[in-house]
Structure 1
Amino acid sequence: MIVEEYYEDYEIGFSRTTFGRTITESDIVTHAGQTGDFFPHHMDKEWCATQDFKQRIAHGTLIFSVGIGMTATTINPRAMSYGYDKMRFIKPVFINDTITVTATISEKKDHPRRLTHGIVHEAIKITNQRDETVLVCDHLYLVERREPRTES
């Protein structure tokens, strides 16, 4: 779906929540192959059985990638991703955990150099099926203004 929203259209506090997605062993194995991260925490079931969590954990970068992908439901030709800040892996995600993502507009500010754009912050919170927060970060969008701002 295509939605054209300018900087002025974003409202602080607007929130959206995705459907769930279950993380599988195949997800972990595929991600390890794509990234080269074959650490035993993700791949070695027997070794993990001797550790604190007693089972394999999904890569934090896998949960981030899948979670952000889950929020990509519309295309806004007036905005683009400007990056991510303050990412934290709060709790581990295990095989067969189901994650859900809530994205909330938390801040808007002027772009320091572009009068034609602003920056919109979206607070990302990924939770598991027990409603425990497993990952948080801020997603920044570079968004075109309807009318360029004047320098102050």
Structure 2
Amino acid sequence: MQEVNKYFEDYNVGDSFTTAGRTITETDIVMHAMHSGDFMPHHTDAQWCATQPFKKPFAHGNMTFSISTGLCIQAEGINPHGMSYGYNKIRYPNLVFPGDTIRVKVTVKSKEDHPKHADHGLITEAKETLNQKDEVVCYAEHVVYIEKKNP
């Protein structure tokens, strides 16, 4: 995996990139159910789903979020000057089904000084996970704790 050496000062509000795509499979959903213990019928019971408005099993929201996070790391690389501070406003406005291909558009939404550590700042990235129809299937705001080059 590539290393990216970017400091707080190297990020600008409005900067963006889009990841490669990844097709979600039924195996992804089953494996996530096994790892998480979430066997809700919405994800694992095709017969039950057939009686519901969505008609077929769909991906767990947190699975979509996790895969989206991995796509971002693969696209951007590892930055030794920053680390995840957390996520805000995670939403799943549309369903993801097996066969859907997702990708993530990442945009720097804001920058601010860290209130306690003058040598670091906080960057908030808006992460929009899109399906092949350009519908948002996951939205999250990722806060990155990042070192300043010139504190």
TM-score tier after normalising by the smaller chain length: over 0.9
**Root-mean-square deviation over aligned CA pairs:** 0.6
Of 88, 92, 105, the residue aligned with 2:108 is: 105
* Distance across 2 between alignment mates of 1:7 and 1:69: 22
Q: Normalising by structure 1, report the TM-score.
A: 0.96
Residues in 1 aligned to 2:130 and 2:8: alpha-carbon distance in whole angstroms:
28
Partner of 2:147: 144
Structure 1 CA distance for aligned equivalents of residues 66 and 35 of structure 2: 12
Q: Structure 1: any 5+ residue segments left out of the alignment? A: none
For the residue of structure 2 that corresponds to 1:61, the secondary structure is helix
* Residue among 88, 92, 96 paired with 2:95: 92
**Per-residue deviation, 1:110:** 0.8
* Mapped pair 1:21 → 2:22: yes
Q: Equivalents in 2 of 1:127, 1:6: separation in Å?
A: 28
- 2 CA distance for matches of 1:32 and 1:138? 25
TM value normalised by structure 2: 0.96
Match in the other structure for 1:9: 10
Aligned-partner Cα distance in 1 for 2:71–2:149: 28
SS of match in other structure, 1:134: strand
Q: Which runs of 5+ in 2 are unaligned?
A: none
Matches within 5 A, 1:1-152: 1-73=2-74, 74-148=77-151
Provide the identity percentage.
49
